């Protein structure tokens, strides 16, 4: 790990573990998706009172030291949102932190964006062995809509899954963890590969994120 040289405009693209495996076996890369993130940027450093005028408002941000890309990221966040919604959030009823749910427990999500903005949301599940969307195939990793319904699954040992809700207009992100207890007689482990691995996509600063469903 190191810092990027921010004296020039730099695009730092690396292969994920999956990409390196393909190259090592003599295969060809067919890059179709990549992920970008600004999560290391502190936008509170944008200074509209800078004495040198508008050209210098973002000087502190532009001169920040950024970390090199890493191939083992599981998720990323972007903090760019619409300016009128800077202090807004997504309101949604979720399981209380620390709650452990039994198999076949429904979770109904009906989010709203604070500030009166009406928008749809992208719902994303990190671990399909632990929870899945109701009314879809077991391999569906994300859905888009005004609401979503989940159901916990029977697993052989306790497991967790992160559910992420992103406002499609505001860009605001809300995440929570679903914890599920073991079910007697269940054979599905919570850490079994569940379809397309998150490191399938082979390019980008944070290419470990799979939003393909």
Examine residue 3 and state whether it is found in any structural domain, yes or no.
Answer: no
d(CA 16, CA 208): 7
Dump pLDDT digits (tens) for 80-131. 655 666 667 899 999 998 899 999 999 999 999 987 678 999 999 999 999 9
Examine residue 45 and state whether it is found in any structural domain, yes or no.
Answer: yes
Dump pLDDT digits (tens) for 144-154. 999 999 999 99
The residue range of the domain holding 103 is 17-191+199-204
Instruction: Name the domain count of the chain.
Output: 1
Examine residue 7 and state whether it is found in any structural domain, yes or no.
Answer: no
Examine residue 11 and state whether it is found in any structural domain, yes or no.
Answer: no
- Cα dihedral 39, 42, 48, 52 sign: negative
Examine residue 8 and state whether it is found in any structural domain, yes or no.
Answer: no
Q: Longest C-alpha distance within the chain, in Å?
A: 69
Examine residue 187 and state whether it is found in any structural domain, yes or no.
Answer: yes
Q: What is the pLDDT averaged over residues 52-60?
A: 85
Q: Which of 14-28, 81-95, 174-188, 191-205 has the lowest mean pLDDT?
A: 191-205
Tokens 């620390």 appear where?
Answer: 98
**Contact 165/119 with Cβ under 8 angstroms?**
no
Task: Give the burial class of 24: count Cβ atoms within 10 A of its Cβ; 0-12 exposed, 13-18 middle, 19 or more buried.
Answer: exposed
Instruction: Answer whether residue 156 shows pLDDT above 50.
Output: yes
**Contact 29/19 with Cβ under 8 angstroms?**
yes
Q: Residue 27's domain is classified under what CATH number?
A: 2.60.40.2550
Higher-confidence residue of 209 and 54: namely: 54
pLDDT band at 77 (very low <50, low <70, confident <90, very high): low
Examine residue 212 and state whether it is found in any structural domain, yes or no.
Answer: no
Examine residue 64 and state whether it is found in any structural domain, yes or no.
Answer: yes
């Amino acid at each position: 790990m190191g810092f990027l040289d921010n004296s020039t405009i730099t695009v730092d693209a690396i292969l994920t573990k999956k990409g390196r495996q393909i190259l090592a076996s003599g295969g060809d890369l067919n890059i179709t998706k990549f992920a970008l993130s600004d999560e290391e940027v502190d936008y509170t450093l944008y200074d509209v009172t800078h004495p040198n005028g508008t050209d210098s408002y973002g000087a502190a941000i532009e001169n920040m030291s950024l970390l090199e890309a890493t191939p083992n990221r599981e998720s990323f966040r972007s903090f760019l949102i619409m300016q009128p919604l800077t202090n807004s959030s997504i309101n949604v009823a979720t399981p209380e932190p620390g709650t452990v749910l039994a198999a076949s427990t429904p979770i109904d999500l009906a989010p709203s964006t604070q500030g009166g903005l009406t928008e749809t949301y992208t719902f994303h599940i990190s671990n399909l062995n632990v929870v899945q969307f109701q009314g879809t195939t077991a391999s569906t990793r994300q859905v888009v809509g005004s609401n979503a319904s989940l159901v916990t699954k029977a697993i052989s040992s306790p497991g967790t899954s992160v559910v992420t809700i992103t406002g499609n207009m505001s860009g605001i992100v809300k995440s929570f963890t679903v914890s599920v207890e073991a079910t007697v007689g269940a054979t599905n482990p919570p850490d079994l590969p569940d379809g397309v691995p998150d490191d399938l996509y082979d390019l980008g600063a944070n290419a470990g994120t799979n939003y393909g469903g």
